[in-house]
Amino acid sequence: MQISATGIGKKFNRRSIFREVDFSVETGEVFGIIGRNGSGKSTLLRIIGGLLSPSAGSISYGINGTDVSVEHLHRVMGYAAPYLTLYEEFSAAENIALYAKIRGLQKGSSDIAALLDRVGLPTDRKDPIRAYSSGMMQRMKLIFSILHEPPLLLLDEPISNLDREGMAVVYDIVAEQKKTGTVIIATNDDEDIAQCDRTLRVEGRA
Ligand X SMILES: Nc1ncnc2c1ncn2[C@@H]1O[C@H](COP(=O)(O)OP(=O)(O)OP(=O)(O)O)[C@@H](O)[C@H]1O
* Residues contributing to the site for ligand X (CB under 6 A): 12, 17, 35, 37-43, 188, 204, 206
Residue 42 binding Mg ion, by CB under 5 A = yes
Of 47, 42, 67, 68, residue with least CA distance to 58: 47
Q: How far is the CB of 187 from Mg ion (least distance, A)?
A: 9
Q: How far is the CB of 132 from ligand X (least distance, A)?
A: 22
Residues 6+ apart with CB under 8 A from 18: 8, 9, 10, 39, 40, 43, 44, 202, 203, 204
The answer to whether 166 and 15 have CB atoms below 8 angstroms apart is no
Residue 187 binding Mg ion, by CB under 5 A = no
Rounded to the nearest 5 degrees, what angle is found at the Cα of 174, between the Cα atoms of 171 and 179? 135
Which regions of 13-162 does DSSP assign to beta strands (E)?
Answer: 15-25, 30-34, 56-63, 66-68, 77-80, 152-156
Q: How far is the CB of 181 from ligand X (least distance, A)?
A: 23
Q: 16 to 35, contacts with Mg ion by CB under 5 A?
A: none
Residue 35 contact, options Mg ion, ligand X, none, Cβ 5-8 Å cut-off depending on partner type: ligand X
Q: How far is the CB of 40 from Mg ion (least distance, A)?
A: 8
Residue 17 contact, options Mg ion, ligand X, none, Cβ 5-8 Å cut-off depending on partner type: ligand X
Contact residues: Mg ion, CB under 5 A? 41-42
